[in-house]
């Protein structure tokens, strides 16, 4: 049974940082593209970032480029999202996702999802 478990969310002031982590189990982690998406209240789920299986290719949404960094450790089956210079508009539930194919920005292309972790940016 595939499980993706996110952690690291919380409340942070504007300009602050958070690091989200996704722990994967029940899958051959190294063959999966890993991605992060987010969903704010009343909005559709949106793409944040992905990293290819070999870590050779990363891609970010324009809204987070230069502030967020995705990483993965295939030896530990984890994928992280370092978020710096956080803004109130970054407030959302953040989801980890895995896809056993080429990277994609589209949520429907992903096979497995975590339960999400809340990130709130507010003073």
How large a percentage of the chain has pLDDT more than 90?
97
| pLDDT given for residue 23 in this prediction | 98
Q: In this model, does residue 109 exceed pLDDT 90?
A: yes
Q: How confident is the model at residue 61 (pLDDT cuts 50, 70, 90)?
A: very high
The predicted pLDDT at position 8 comes to 97
**d(C-alpha 63, C-alpha 90), whole Å:** 9
pLDDT value of residue 55: 83
Q: Is the pLDDT of residue 56 over 90?
A: no
Say whether pLDDT at 60 is over 90: yes
Between CA 37 and CA 92 the distance in angstroms is: 9
Give rounded-to-5 percent helix, strand, coil for the chain. 5, 50, 45
Q: What rounded mean pLDDT belongs to the chain? A: 96
Work out the average pLDDT over 61-71. 98
């Amino acid at each position: 049974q595939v499980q993706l478990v996110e952690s690291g969310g919380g409340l942070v002031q504007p300009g602050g940082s958070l690091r989200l982590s996704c722990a994967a189990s029940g899958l051959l982690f190294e063959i999966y593209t890993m991605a992060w998406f987010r969903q704010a209240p009343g909005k559709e789920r949106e793409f944040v970032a992905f990293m290819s299986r070999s870590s050779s290719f990363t891609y970010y949404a324009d809204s987070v480029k230069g502030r967020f960094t995705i990483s993965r450790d295939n030896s530990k089956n984890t994928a992280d999202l370092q978020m710096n210079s956080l803004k109130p508009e970054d407030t959302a539930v953040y989801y980890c996702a895995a896809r056993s194919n080429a990277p994609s920005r589209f949520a429907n292309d992903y096979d497995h999802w975590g339960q999400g972790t809340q990130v709130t940016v507010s003073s």
